[in-house]
Amino acid sequence: MSYETLLVETHDRVTLIRLNRPQALNALNSQVMNDLIAALGAFDADDSQGCAVITGSEKAFAAGADIKEMAELTFADTFGGNLFAGYDRVIATRKPVIAAVSGFALGGGCELAMMCDFIIAADSAKFGQPEIKLGVTPGMGGSQRMARAIGKAKTMEMCLTGRMMGAAEAEAAGLVARVVPAADLIAEALKSAEAVASMSPLATRAVKEMVNVAFETPLAQGVLFERRLFDGLFGSEDQKEGMAAFIAKRAADWKGR
Ligand code: HXC
């Protein structure tokens, strides 16, 4: 399958999705959104694939929603047309998705990265929510996800001043999982994705659901949700296989059932 604004490669069990609008620093126009919806849908439906990596170019993960496309929109277009609702597809993806960020991840680009399950950043990465400078605000969940990831003080400052945050600060603040040299970004992200993809697909989906529930529920309910998913995995062949393989000192052969 080929896409107008994406380059998609499969590496054994890992799908690498590269945003590819270099002339606009990967600004997220409606074509990018539609292409991402299709690519993530295909990835999620393909049993041979266990983890996806979304990346951009060395200069820009994505410099935001496409300002030229948005400039003349009306309230009826945005609210009436539910403008960015298509990005809910990123959140709906049941298999893990890693963002590999090099260069600018601004506005919708930062928000797209934060929708992924975790972010690996090149040392060149720059995160920001500069919408305030355009007379608007984050609109793809940025104010909410950033506040949950790094707290009110930094989020408020980032969203009110529109300043950028470098990779080291983003790592110290807890926005990114890991910072790697820019030259190693794709290799490191693929290595991490291969590790994720080598686990039981059932346990992997369970981890994704339970960690995400932490942001939606009180602690006691979240702990109970975790325990019930944990209990449920004892009904899977993969649990028997994983524990038998450990005891026999061999690699597990996951069946996904
Ligand atoms: C459309 C964009 C763009 C964007 C860059 N370009 N960002 N086009 N939408 N978000 C285009 C430029 O117009 C230019 O095209 C080309 O990409 C290269 O950009 P330059 O500005 O020349 O590059 P540089 O000087 O290196 O500056 C890089 C930059 C700057 C600092 C990232 O481009 C920038 O500030 N971009 C906008 C960042 C931003 O405000 N993002 C938030 C968008 S609002 P031409 O044709 O002129 O050469 C948003 C809303 C989210 O994301 C909420 C709902 C989703």
Calculate mean pLDDT across residues 193-206.
Answer: 97
Question: 24: Cβ below 6 Å to ligand 1?
Answer: yes
Residue 163 lies in a domain: yes
Question: 150: Cβ below 6 Å to ligand 1?
Answer: no
pTM of the model: 0.97
Q: How confident is the model at residue 27 (pLDDT cuts 50, 70, 90)?
A: very high
Co-location of 68 and 145 in the same domain: yes
Domain span at 55 = 6-197
Question: 66: Cβ below 6 Å to ligand 1?
Answer: yes
3-state secondary structure of 139: coil
Among protein residues, the one with the nearest Cα to ligand 1's atom 16 is 24
Active-site residue flag, 131: yes
Is the CA virtual torsion 108, 114, 116, 120 positive or negative?
A: positive
Calculate mean pLDDT across residues 25-29.
Answer: 98
**b/e map of 47-77 (b: 16 or more CB within 10 Å)?**
eebbbbbbbbbeebbbbbbbeeebeeeeeee
**247 class by beta-carbon count within 10 Å (0-12 exposed, 13-18 middle, 19+ buried):** exposed
Calculate mean pLDDT across residues 38-67.
Answer: 98
Co-location of 125 and 214 in the same domain: no
CB 202 within 8 A of CB 240: no
Q: Which of 26, 66, 67, 83 to mutate to test the pocket of ligand 1 (most atoms within 8 A of CB)?
A: 67
Co-location of 192 and 209 in the same domain: no
Q: How far does CA 223 lie from the centroid of its chain? A: 24
Cross-strand pairs, 128: 106, 164
The four Cα atoms 233, 239, 242, 244 give a dihedral, to 10 degrees, of: 150
Average pLDDT of the chain? 97
Question: 115: Cβ below 6 Å to ligand 1?
Answer: no
Q: How confident is the model at residue 1 (pLDDT cuts 50, 70, 90)?
A: confident
Active-site residue flag, 235: no
Q: Express each pLDDT in 114-153 by its tens digit.
A: 999 999 999 999 999 999 999 999 999 999 999 999 999 9
Calculate mean pLDDT across residues 17-21.
Answer: 98
Q: Is the per-residue pLDDT at 107 higher than 90?
A: yes
The interface predicted TM-score (ipTM) is 0.98
Residue 73 lies in a domain: yes
CB 146 within 8 A of CB 114: yes
Co-location of 97 and 22 in the same domain: yes
Query: Is beta strand 118-122 parallel, antiparallel or unpaired with respect to 97-101?
Result: parallel
Distance 182 CA to ligand 1 centre (A): 21
Co-location of 150 and 207 in the same domain: no
User: CB within 8 A of 231, min separation 6: which ones?
Assistant: none
Question: 128: Cβ below 6 Å to ligand 1?
Answer: no
Residue 255 lies in a domain: no
Calculate mean pLDDT across residues 27-37.
Answer: 97
Co-location of 214 and 190 in the same domain: no
Co-location of 93 and 170 in the same domain: yes
Q: What is the pLDDT of residue 106?
A: 98
CB 242 within 8 A of CB 200: yes
Distance 93 CA to ligand 1 centre (A): 28
Residue 234 lies in a domain: yes
What CATH number has the domain bearing residue 136? 3.90.226.10
3-state secondary structure of 26: coil
Active-site residue flag, 174: no
Question: 67: Cβ below 6 Å to ligand 1?
Answer: yes
Q: How confident is the model at residue 18 (pLDDT cuts 50, 70, 90)?
A: very high
Co-location of 173 and 238 in the same domain: no
Residue 38 lies in a domain: yes
Report the percentage of the chain scoring pLDDT > 70: 100
CB 93 within 8 A of CB 40: yes
String of DSSP letters for 61-91: EE--B-HHHHTT--HIIIIITTTTGGGHHHH
Co-location of 152 and 217 in the same domain: no
- The C-alpha atoms of residue 132 and residue 71 are separated, in whole angstroms, by 14
Co-location of 137 and 187 in the same domain: yes
What CATH number has the domain bearing residue 235? 1.10.12.10
Q: What is the pLDDT of residue 170?
A: 98
Give alpha helix (H) positions in 46-173.
67-70, 75, 88-92, 108-115, 142-150, 152-161, 167-173
Q: Is the per-residue pLDDT at 193 higher than 90?
A: yes
Report the percentage of the chain scoring pLDDT > 90: 100
Calculate mean pLDDT across residues 170-181.
Answer: 98
Q: How far does CA 236 lie from the centroid of its chain? A: 27
Q: What is the pLDDT of residue 164?
A: 98
Greatest C-alpha distance within the chain:
64
Task: Give the total number of structural domains in the chain.
Answer: 2
End residue of a domain, out of 197, 218, 234: 197
Co-location of 180 and 235 in the same domain: no
Co-location of 72 and 40 in the same domain: yes
Residue 23 lies in a domain: yes
Residue 256 lies in a domain: no
Q: Is the per-residue pLDDT at 44 higher than 90?
A: yes
CB 96 within 8 A of CB 208: yes
Q: What is the pLDDT of residue 174?
A: 98
